Amino acid sequence: MYYTLSIGKKYIKIVCILCVILVITLFIHTFADKHHNKPHVNAIDDHLDTFADQLSGDLVFSDANSDNITGFKTPIVPNVVHYVVLDNVYMDFIHFVSIKSVLRHQKPQKIIIHCNCHHMKGKYWSQLMSGSDGHLIHVRHIQKPVTIFGKKLSSVYHMADIVRIQVMITFGGIFIDNDVYVVKSLDPFLRFEFTIGWPPNESIGNQVLIGHKNARFLKLWYESYHKYRPTRWYYNAGQLPTSDILGPKPSLVHRVSHAFGVHNLVPMLYNDLYPFWDNNFFAIHLLARHKSYLVPNDMITTFNEHNIKTYNKTFGQMARLVLFGTTDIIADH
Ligand SMILES: *[C@@H]1O[C@H](CO)[C@@H](O)[C@H](O)[C@H]1NC(C)=O
Ligand SMILES: *[C@@H]1O[C@H](CO)[C@@H](O)[C@H](O)[C@H]1NC(C)=O
Ligand SMILES: *[C@@H]1O[C@H](CO)[C@@H](O)[C@H](O)[C@H]1NC(C)=O
């Protein structure tokens, strides 16, 4: 009896020692992996993924707890702004203006640019990085999706449509297109499961998305890509989710009819000087890629930090406010 017991004790001791050695080895391996084998950018990605885990916990939404008219009593959506950039490392002037509008009017905790690149480049990017808010802006490396549920994606625009949904499902927060200008704080919408610009008799606009990562609409929208139609420009991004998901169940979202500025505001932006733009909107889609044919007679074809100083249209006021702190025309000496 005594004999067996002491063998048992010896056995336990050996097992314990082996366990300790195993734990130490595992620890060293993990540590070495994190700090030596991975390139720097992945360390940033790890940090952002941990950040995603921390964001706003694991709420489970239902008709019983989520109300699309009053929302929750306190914010449930993180104040983080997301952009998606595919196949372009040079930040252009319009994206620069968009980020400046976010910094000034939204004051987010972070801005994350999800890109199939590791770094952004160009003078506007350098200017952002050297500014006092540079530390808020991160580039997160992503792969460009090539297929969705086995079907080949037909354009980089459809890829970006899908990435924004994936980003929202991972992080939650505020997604905006690279040519969306934030007019004033979007904080009032951080209390809703999901908020979207949806003008009367039109499809939803996917240029501004605000919501919790567990929002029911996001999963349904992603799943609806089983019906992906490669040849239809705005079918999966707008028409199908509007007709098949929100048509039957509009209470899944807090609907903003005009104030997200996702309808066509090109005449106001580039044809007129409308001084009340900051009263009527929370955000405005600048439709920058479409300006050339929508306003063919405009004198300026490509905006920059010089010609914007004397551009006497609504967009001139908007850009000057976030670049120079004034809506006034600036004499160009
Ligand atoms: C929406 O469409 C309906 C029916 O086609 C029409 O009666 C209504 O006036 C439209 N509303 C707007 C704001 O265009
Ligand atoms: C809320 O959902 C209802 C349907 O239950 C819909 O009729 C209404 O337009 C929605 N309101 C807002 C502000 O989104
Ligand atoms: C800008 O346009 C407004 C209205 O069209 C006009 O009244 C104003 O004089 C213009 N300002 C300049 C500096 O050209």
Q: Are 180 and 207 in contact (CB under 8 A)?
A: yes
What is the mean predicted confidence (pLDDT) over 152-179? 97
Cα of 192 from ligand 2 centre, angstroms: 12
What confidence category does residue 36 fall into, taking pLDDT thresholds of 50, 70 and 90? Answer: very low
User: Quick one: pLDDT at residue 293?
Assistant: 81
What is the mean predicted confidence (pLDDT) over 169-191? 97
Q: Which residues line ligand 2 (CB under 6 A)?
A: 68-69, 250-251, 254-255
Angle between helices 314-324 and 93-105 (to 10 degrees): 70
Residue 252 has pLDDT above 50, yes or no: yes
Instruction: Name 214's Cβ contacts closer than 8 Å, sequence gap at least 6.
Output: 58, 59, 60, 61, 172
Decide: helix, strand or coil at residue 286: coil
What is the mean predicted confidence (pLDDT) over 200-222? 97
Cα–Cα distances in angstroms (integers) from residue 20 to residues 7, 25, 40, in the given order: 20, 9, 31
3-state helix, strand, coil split of the chain in percent (to 5) is 45, 15, 40
Q: Are 182 and 101 in contact (CB under 8 A)?
A: yes
Ligand 2, atom 1: closest residue by C-alpha: 251
Cα of 152 from ligand 3 centre, angstroms: 50
Higher pLDDT, 219 or 37: 219
| Binding site membership of 199 for ligand 1 (Cβ less than 6 Å) | no
Ligand 2, atom 7: closest residue by C-alpha: 250
| Binding site membership of 200 for ligand 1 (Cβ less than 6 Å) | yes
Cα of 200 from ligand 1 centre, angstroms: 7
Ligand 3, atom 2: closest residue by C-alpha: 312
What is the mean predicted confidence (pLDDT) over 108-116? 98
